Amino acid sequence: MSTAQHTPEPWCTDERFPGTIYCDDATGSIVAECGPFEFALRPEQEILANADRIVACVNACQDIPTSVLEKLAATRFRFLRGLLAEASDRYRLGLEGVSE
């Protein structure tokens, strides 16, 4: 296991550079890119959705040590799935009729 630290949150995307993930700080450094690679072509909308999902997951896990996330992933997050589904339903119900 590496002792290196990941780039601090929050992370973000920028519509000017589709699929690129940045650190949302004064430096705005590039963290990762989701792009069409030579042997794994993906539609542009999927690339954008992948980048948005990565950013949402990373920001949602802020302050949770990577070692804890790795252990949870080994169990496939079984015990959290019900809680997350319930929270998602509550969130969706609370936002009915509200546009982004």
Domain ranges in the chain? 8-63, 65-100
Q: Flag whether pLDDT at 96 surpasses 70.
A: no
CA distance 14 to 16: 5
Among the residue ranges 1-10, 51-60, 77-86, the one predicted with the least confidence is 77-86
Percent of the chain whose pLDDT exceeds 90: 35
What tokens does 54 get? 């990565």
**Reported confidence tier of residue 3, pLDDT bands at 50, 70, 90:** confident
80 secondary structure, DSSP code: H
What average pLDDT does the structure give for the chain?
Answer: 83
More confident residue, 52 or 25: 52
pTM across the whole model:
0.72
The side-by-side arrangement of strands in the sheet containing 20-23 is: 11-13, 20-23, 30-33
CA geometry: angle 70, 2, 49, nearest 5 deg = 55
